[in-house]
Amino acid sequence: MAPSRLPVLIVGDVHGDLERLFAALKPYPADQWRTIFLGDLVDYGVFGVGALRYARDRPNSSVLLGNHEVALLWALRDPTRIRFWMSIGGERHDLDELARDEPLQQWLRERPAMLRLDDGTLLQHCGHDGYMSLLDGSEDDQLSAINSHFRNALASGGEGDLWDLMSIRNVFESDLYRLTRWLETMQAARVVFGHTPHRSPHPERYHDGRAWNFDGGLAKRGPWRGRSALAASVGPLPDLAG
């Protein structure tokens, strides 16, 4: 079956924890699901590059950029950023491994910032509308323009600007006006994201399902220490009416 015909599985922030990722994915065979990773596969856990390779190679899968992937690429290009990157959970062996794998570097730089599904679901890493700063109002396709901006920035040393943009915490939970404006701008029915951990046993639903947060703090290492259920970060995309 073509990936577009498969039910959609959402994977929130993995942060290098392959053990919990594999456990979470066990009920969802790759050939039966279209899997979308929302970014932040690296840092805190010890298998960040392994998580990237796994997500890249899992059939019927798409991978979005997270702010931690941007920080890793920044440290790879500019060694003066390594100390900062390690302060936010970077594992030095991941940097060394990525440095030896140019095809993986190129693949990572080409990941989109966001996707839009046929049902009008917008998928992005961060739960905010800061991406709007990349638009000037003249675009025919806002999503393509944002993704192009990301690719160009990563190809031209613009990681710092992307890091600042993507490190803002979730605002959609509390600000219905900004959520509504963002959905109208992106011609979307709802938005699904990760980035800001929650503590619910399932993905958090805001504003009658117009926004969903799939970052349940999956990784056992790091500030959130995997205390939430696996289903808080990994699970089927809810129906639009849900």
The string of pLDDT tens digits covering residues 156-212 is: 999 999 999 999 889 999 999 999 999 999 999 999 999 999 989 999 999 999 999
Pick the closest to residue 69 from 14, 17, 20 (CA basis): 14
Q: What is the mean pLDDT of residues 70-96?
A: 97
Residue, of 2 and 59, whose pLDDT is higher: 59
Q: What is the mean pLDDT of residues 224-230?
A: 74
Residue, of 140 and 15, whose pLDDT is higher: 15
Among 89-93, 115-119, 223-227, name the one with the lowest average pLDDT. 223-227
pLDDT given at position 140: 86
pLDDT at 213 over 90: yes
CB 70 within 8 A of CB 90: no
Among 4-8, 66-70, 182-186, name the one with the lowest average pLDDT. 4-8
pLDDT at 242 over 80: no
pTM: 0.95
- Name the fold adopted by 7-236: Purple Acid Phosphatase; chain A, domain 2 (3.60.21)
Core vs surface per residue 153-164: b (16+ CB within 10 A) or e: bbeeeebeebbe
| Strand blocks (E) in 64-129 | 114-116, 121-124
Rounded-to-integer distance, Cα 194 and Cα 37, Å: 10
pLDDT given at position 70: 98
Q: How far is CA 242 from the centre of its chain?
A: 22
